[in-house]
Amino acid sequence: MNTTVRRRWRNVFLVALSVLAVGIAYAALSSYGIAIPCVFNALTGLLCPGCGNTRAARAFLRLDFSAALSYNLMAPLEFFYIAWVLFFTVRSYLKGNGVSYRPPAVAFDVCVLVLVLAWGILRNIL
């Protein structure tokens, strides 16, 4: 393995380790009742498409799927899409194309965007 590829893998590992450290720190802080406020909700009083995702993620980690879906019905799709974007961004970086997202299916990205925006509107109407 040449040094460029090795350096890229090292960078991916360091970023993953950093994300893990932030996740652990957040979990520790949230156990004391410290949470990330939703700026959109604080300014408008409306629920954004992502409101409830933190509680949903914690419920998923406890394997409490019904609670997770009650916090945000679109959380599984949103989490899957985040993983999708991260996977293709890392793949692009490892191939030497820099840190960029080149979607393999633009139609999928558009469908997810439309669904999430529709959910953001509908959850405030219903």
Burial class (CB in 10 A: 0-12, 13-18, 19+), 102: exposed
Tokens encoding 97: 């194309």
Instruction: Return the pLDDT at 25.
Output: 79
Classify residue 59 as exposed, middle or buried by CB count within 10 Å of its CB (0-12, 13-18, 19+).
buried
Percent of the chain with pLDDT over 70: 96
Digit-coded pLDDT (tens) for 19-57: 888 878 777 776 777 777 889 999 999 999 999 888 888
Over residues 115-124, the mean pLDDT reads 93
Domain ranges of the chain: 36-125
Pick left, alpha or beta for residue 98 (phi over 0 → left; psi -120 to 50 → alpha; otherwise beta): left
Entry pTM: 0.76
